[in-house]
């Protein structure tokens, strides 16, 4: 447990530029304090001690605003930044060097028993207000955008954004976990693609209208020429020809 606490303490200086000295981190960082309470409660929980682990968890939530069930498994070097409103369920598993922001929920769905909370891999970043619900597998190096709601498994090395969460692959490119401004806007991309498709269809329709107009002029000229040169053609045959042309042009409109 001591090695885990040391890793939790050191990672803060690596990922938070506002961390200036060790005393400030120990006294003023609720994320670290919540992890200290949890690691103590988790150790007692694994020993099967009743009530006390939940009491420690409850006190930790009271003082930090972060609720971590004693049964949750938290890896080394986890950093809960700001932390207010974070909820981590009983069967959740959080991998090493995961970064969790305020308002995150690693929760379950329904009243099923057994493993019902998500499993996060190593080096995962969960943005502010994100919800990961159910017995899901979140791979290594995954970034979950702020406010996203993840309801299905996520492979490694990709980004999830939106409600419900949509997977956007990063082709294995290593990204800075603190570069939140680089998260893609999948909805804007889809809208842009749809607009491009509409513009393409409008051009095709315009081309079809122009081609139809030329065909109509050509047919009209041909009919007029045929009428002047073939005076002996019966009216019945002319009417039949006109009807076939109209039906043909009507089929192309």
pLDDT tens for 94-150 read 999 999 999 999 988 877 778 899 999 999 999 899 999 989 999 898 888 888 899
Q: Helix, strand, coil: what percent of the chain each, to 5?
A: 45, 15, 40
The model's pLDDT over 148-176, given as tens digits with 9 standing for 90+, comes to: 899 988 888 888 888 888 877 665 555 55
The helix (H) or strand (E) run that includes residue 106 is strand 105-107
- Count, residues in the chain: 253
- Four-point Cα dihedral 35, 37, 43, 47, nearest 10: -140
Of residues 165, 249, 175, the one with CA closest to residue 214: 249
What span, in angstroms and rounded, lies between the C-alpha atoms of 17 and 235?
Answer: 93
Helix (H, G, I), strand (E, B) or coil at 232: coil
Dump pLDDT digits (tens) for 68-102: 999 999 989 898 988 899 999 989 999 999 999 99
R_g of the chain, CA atoms, integer Å: 33
Residue 238 reports pLDDT greater than 60: no
Cα(126)–Cα(97) distance, integer angstroms: 12
Residue 134: left (phi > 0), alpha (psi -120 to 50), or beta?
A: left
The CA distance from 240 to 18, in Å, is 88
CA distances in angstroms from 51 to 47, 145, 174, listed in the order given: 12, 36, 43
Q: What is the spatial distance between Cα 107 and Cα 12, in angstroms, rounded to a whole number? A: 25
pTM of the model: 0.68
Please give the backbone phi and psi of residue 93, each rounded to the nearest 5 degrees, phi first.
-125, 125
């Amino acid at each position: 447990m001591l090695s885990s606490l040391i890793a939790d303490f050191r990672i803060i200086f690596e990922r938070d530029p506002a961390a200036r000295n060790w005393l400030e981190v120990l006294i003023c960082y609720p994320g670290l304090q919540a992890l200290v309470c949890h690691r103590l409660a988790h150790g007692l929980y694994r020993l099967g001690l009743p009530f006390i682990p939940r009491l420690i968890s409850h006190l930790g939530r009271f003082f930090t605003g972060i609720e971590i069930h004693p049964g949750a498994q938290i890896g080394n070097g986890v950093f809960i930044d700001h932390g207010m409103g974070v909820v981590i369920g009983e069967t959740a598993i959080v991998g090493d060097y995961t970064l969790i922001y305020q308002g995150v929920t690693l929760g379950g769905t329904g009243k099923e028993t057994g493993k019902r909370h998500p499993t996060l891999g190593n080096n995962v970043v969960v943005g502010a207000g994100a919800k990961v619900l159910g017995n899901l597998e979140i791979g290594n190096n995954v970034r979950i955008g702020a406010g996203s709601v993840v309801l299905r498994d996520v492979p490694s090395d990709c980004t999830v954004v939106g409600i419900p969460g949509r997977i956007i692959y990063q082709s294995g490119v290593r990204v800075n976990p603190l570069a939140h401004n680089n998260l893609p806007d999948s909805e804007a991309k889809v809208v842009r693609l749809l607009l491009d498709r509409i513009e393409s269809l409008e051009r095709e329709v315009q081309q079809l209208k122009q081609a139809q107009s030329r065909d109509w002029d050509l047919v009209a000229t041909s009919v007029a020429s045929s009428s002047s040169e073939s005076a002996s053609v019966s009216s019945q045959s002319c009417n039949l020809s006109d009807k076939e042309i109209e039906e043909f042009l009507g089929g192309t409109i």
